[in-house]
Amino acid sequence: MSKIIPYSTLLRQQHVSFLRHKHREYQEREEYLMHLRKLLFQVEGQMRQAEIQQLEVFREIGGHFKIDLKFPDLGDRVGLQEVFATDPFLTALKEFFAGRLTSDECCETILALQEDPPVL
């Protein structure tokens, strides 16, 4: 003789099964997100390090030409953008690095700035 399972028991088992399935699904996504967050943190750290190294190139060139560069704090991205947008020395270097100025043209521009420094 077969045993009859009440509807409420079947319904409860269905709910429990559904919740377990959703729990597994959620945990898989959460682990994936955690992995992506770690990866993002590593990439952000590497980007930050590369940005600092790029700033060092500008400082080195400024030192070579005896031009005092005043960069804002490293966390001040807006301030850094403003400095690069308004400083004629940095503008010349950006143009040079972008390939729009030759090294001779860049040198001439920098030497002209040293002779007649802009008023900021």
pTM, two decimal places: 0.69
pLDDT of residue 1: 58
pLDDT recorded at residue 120: 55
Could you tell me the two tokens for 82? Answer: 């403003």
Mean pLDDT per 10-residue section of the chain, whose length is 120 residues? 85 97 98 98 94 94 93 85 93 96 96 77
Look at residue 118 in the predicted model and tell me its pLDDT.
Answer: 65
With beta carbons less than 8 A apart as the criterion, state whether 84 and 90 touch. Answer: yes
What is the phi-psi region of residue 99: left when phi exceeds 0, alpha when psi lies from -120 to 50, beta otherwise? left
SS3 helix, strand, coil % of the chain, rounded to 5? 75, 0, 25
